């Protein structure tokens, strides 16, 4: 393994320690887009998986109410939230104790 790959792996590991329940590849993509296109947060589709026993409908309404995102249910254990989001906002969402894991995709925002 090259030195560059070792540094990359170390960086990803560091990110995972800071924001434990968010997919590292998603975080990297969002931060890349934030730097390349700083005028608007990336367009993100989050898949928010809840811990066992949580009410996804209640969480869907809470996300919609607090952030104004269009949301929908993701099966019986999750919520999808779509909108322009910064990495700081996603880190804030991830702090919710009911959330087990967050993944998704990010693309440049439409201007």
For 43-89, how does the pLDDT look when each residue is reduced to its tens digit (9 = 90+)?
999 999 999 999 999 999 999 999 999 999 998 899 999 999 999 99
Q: Is the pLDDT of residue 111 over 70?
A: no
In CATH, which of 3.30.70, 1.20.1260, 3.40.50, 4.10.860 is domain 3-107? 3.30.70
Cα torsion 32, 6, 90, 61 to 10°: value is 120
Q: Which of 3-12, 13-22, 90-99, 102-111 has the lowest mean pLDDT?
A: 102-111
Q: Is a pLDDT exceeding 90 seen at residue 109?
A: no
Closest of 53, 99, 104, 109 to residue 80, by C-alpha: 104
Question: What band does 4 get if pLDDT is binned at 50, 70 and 90?
Answer: very high
| 34, containing H or E segment | helix 24-36
B/e letters for 84-105, b = 16+ CB within 10 Å, e = fewer, are ebbbebbeebbebeebeebbbe
pLDDT band at 32 (very low <50, low <70, confident <90, very high): very high
The C-alpha atoms of residue 84 and residue 40 are separated, in whole angstroms, by 8
Kindly list the domain boundaries of the chain, sorted by start residue: 3-107
């Amino acid at each position: 393994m090259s030195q560059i790959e070792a540094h990359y792996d170390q960086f990803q590991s560091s990110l995972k320690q800071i924001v434990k329940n968010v997919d590292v590849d998603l975080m990297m993509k969002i931060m890349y887009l934030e730097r390349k296109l700083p005028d608007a947060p990336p367009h993100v589709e989050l898949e928010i998986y809840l811990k066992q026993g949580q009410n996804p409908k209640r969480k869907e309404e809470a996300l919609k109410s607090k952030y104004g995102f269009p949301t929908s249910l993701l099966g019986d254990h999750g919520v999808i939230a779509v909108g322009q989001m910064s990495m700081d906002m996603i880190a804030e969402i991830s702090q919710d104790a009911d959330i087990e894991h967050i993944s998704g995709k990010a693309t440049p925002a439409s201007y």
